[in-house]
Structure 1
Amino acid sequence: MIENTIKETVIRLAEPVVDSLGLVLWGVEIQRAGRMIVRLYVDTHPELRQTQGVDASPSIDQCEEISRHLGLALEVEDLIAAAYTLEVSTPGLMRVFFDLEQLRPYLGDIMEVKLHMPITLGQHNDTDVACAHRRLWRGRLAAVQDDFFVLEPVTVTAEGDVYPETLPPVSLPWATVRSVNRMHIFRRPVKPGKARAENTPPFN
């Protein structure tokens, strides 16, 4: 409960300065491994993204200005009793998503999804369809609906190749999602004269 209160307070205090800089709040994360980390993500306004591209990001100076204002405001509120570190950053290439609407501009991208509970795809008695029982899914984002999204399952190799799995698309209700982030695929160079181990050509 206290985490939700902290997140709501951070959003309330940060919104005025974020808006004044022409940016948008992307989300808030709280990590408790050792010293608490309160991390605020800010992003470029959607209208600017249409002209600058989906990977256009706020500047370091903008993040520092938000951090200064937010840090002072949190001290006045005195809500967080324990020692903590405040971070303000951009979502980046491997961005975490906080709601379904944020996913819509990223159709076709590869996502990594962690669920609260495993979901089973396929039937054990169906010889034509592979079966998977997973808490972790990786796939190409195929559709976004009101309360769920659809992934086309893929395998990502250590070399950075992406191969379709022999599985049908999986529908993942947003309520079952623990976390979802975009996977930026880094293609590892293949040494001269070394053929790929897989026979199936990867996605481009």
Structure 2
Amino acid sequence: MADIAALTRLIEPEATALGFELVRVRLFGKGDERTLQVMAERPDTRQLTIEDCAELSRRLSDMLDETDPIEDAYRLEVSSPGIDRPLTRLRDFADWAGHEARIVLDAPIDGQKQFKGELSGVEGETIVIVQQKSGTVARVPFSGVVDAKLVLTDKLIKATVPLSAEGAEEEIEAEETN
């Protein structure tokens, strides 16, 4: 399997050159069904348009064809992180404080590997989350996170109004004033 850190080092400058921030690079699947997934976002909107995805995909395809860092065939998938986005950087946990998340750790803390609740932010390298079931505050080390993502809620949907070049934001504002 290809080295994800090495792939990230190849991909990140290409995304940055287009003004995007890399959210995640992942290679999954087996044989002819392998997929190289690249998630990126615009720093100002935290989203990518379809045109942005196409532009990044073309740029990455050219670079990956030239460098050939992955053995065998694979499919390139470029996307925006979406509403229930993965949380991959420490700052994501601070940026999305007040929203519900699910966090899975590599090793249990007090017998618990999975945490679900409202993010309260970060303290140094530690993520603070108020657990949904018990209401207790848990502090989990960022270094131990193997998977984390936002949970789709009405509050999250309202906080992530999609981009629109055709005036959808104006339509939403008009609906709110009516």
TM over 0.5: yes
Q: After the TM superposition, which segments of 4 or more aligned residues of structure 1 sit over 6 Å from their partners? A: none
Answer with 1 or 2: which has the greater Rg. Answer: 1
Q: Which runs of 5+ in 1 are unaligned?
A: 50-55, 121-132, 155-164, 188-204
Please give the residue correspondences for 1:1-204 in structure 2 after superposition, counting only pairs within 5 Å.
2-4=2-4, 7-16=5-14, 18-32=15-29, 35-45=33-43, 48-49=44-45, 57-120=47-110, 133-154=111-132, 165-185=133-153
RMSD value, Cα = 2.2
For 2:54, what is the secondary structure of its paired residue? helix
Same amino acid, percent of matched pairs: 23
Question: Aligned partners of 1:76 and 1:141: how far apart in 2?
Answer: 42
TM-score normalised by L of structure 1: 0.67
Say which SS state the counterpart of residue 87 (structure 2) adopts: coil
Distance change >3 Å, CA 178–CA 19, structure 1 → 2: closer
Structure 2: gaps of 5 or more residues: 156-178
Which structure is higher in helix share? 2
CA–CA distance in structure 2, aligned partners of residues 64 and 95 of structure 1:
20
For the 8 Å contact 2:2–2:70, the answer to whether it is kept is no
Alpha carbons 2:96, 2:121 under 8 Å: kept: no
**Offset of 1:167 from its aligned partner?**
4.5
Structure 1 residue 182: Cα displacement: 0.6
TM-score (structure 2 length as normaliser): 0.76
How far, CA to CA, are the matches of 2:134 and 2:7 in structure 1? Answer: 45
Query: Could you say what secondary structure the match of 2:116 adopts?
Result: strand
Aligned length: 154
Contact 2:129 2:139 in 1 (8 A): yes
